[in-house]
Amino acid sequence: MGRPRKNTVEEATTKKAPKTEVLRISKPNFQWIKVVIGNFDGAPGLMVNRAKALPPKEAVGTRLGTPSPKEILTPEEHCERALYYMPEDWKGKSKYGLPIGGFKTGMVTAGVDHGLKMKSLKRHLFLADDAAGLIEIHGEPTMDARMVKINNRGAKIPVMAYRPIFNKWWVELRVRYNAALYTAEEILNLISETGISVGWGENRPEKGGANGTWVFKPTKTKVQVTAE
């Protein structure tokens, strides 16, 4: 057997370089922001209407026909039925809650208004609840009585509506977001914008009203931002 032939210069230059792996999915970078929001600026209160209950018996009986006994509600019963209650084993300071989904929906709406993609916001933005899909609202509700118009076979019928309203309120929001897509400042701006232009609950700005708006709690403490 002869000696092995050495590679020529041409053969050496045509050798393929070893393949390098291209990382197509980077490591997730989700972070948390915790803020306190409420109507600290003295804005109109937050109005709740959980059950979309029928109007009180006086309005139903005189304008929409005679209701069944189960449909007859006093103003006080109407308010009690319209509230969200925290679970019985909840150890927080308040027994009332708000669906956390309403805050996320509002943030998505505000984000879309500013050119962000709805699907991306839904997939990369999460809000934590306290229990059973609710977050604790701090404040005491009172009764709000005002004339509203409801649809009755295409006609707008004016009736009195009795709904609970939190004239002074605050909640703590815990927002989990993808820091690879959004900065902490952008998330804070989104929360602030949602409180101004969208709001939460009945008669909110999104629906042409003025209730349910919020601002950040005035404090010298920096907003808490934590990584997973």
- Output phi, psi for 23, to 5 deg: -80, 110
- The answer to the question of residue 204 being in a domain is yes
- The answer to the question of residue 18 being in a domain is no
- The answer to the question of residue 89 being in a domain is yes
Band of residue 227 on the pLDDT scale cut at 50, 70, 90: confident
Other Cβ atoms closer than 10 A to 6: 7
- Has residue 9 got a pLDDT over 80? no
Q: What distance lies between CA 117 and its chain's CA centroid?
A: 17
- The answer to the question of residue 94 being in a domain is yes
- The answer to the question of residue 129 being in a domain is yes
- The answer to the question of residue 207 being in a domain is yes
- The answer to the question of residue 20 being in a domain is no
- Has residue 49 got a pLDDT over 70? yes
Q: Considering only 2-6, 113-117, 138-142, 161-165, which range has the smallest mean pLDDT?
A: 2-6
Provide the pLDDT for residue 63: 46
Question: What's the whole-model pTM score?
Answer: 0.79
Q: What pairs with residue 85 in β-bridges?
A: 96
- The answer to the question of residue 61 being in a domain is yes
Question: How many domains is the chain built from?
Answer: 1
Q: Which domain holds residue 119?
A: 28-227
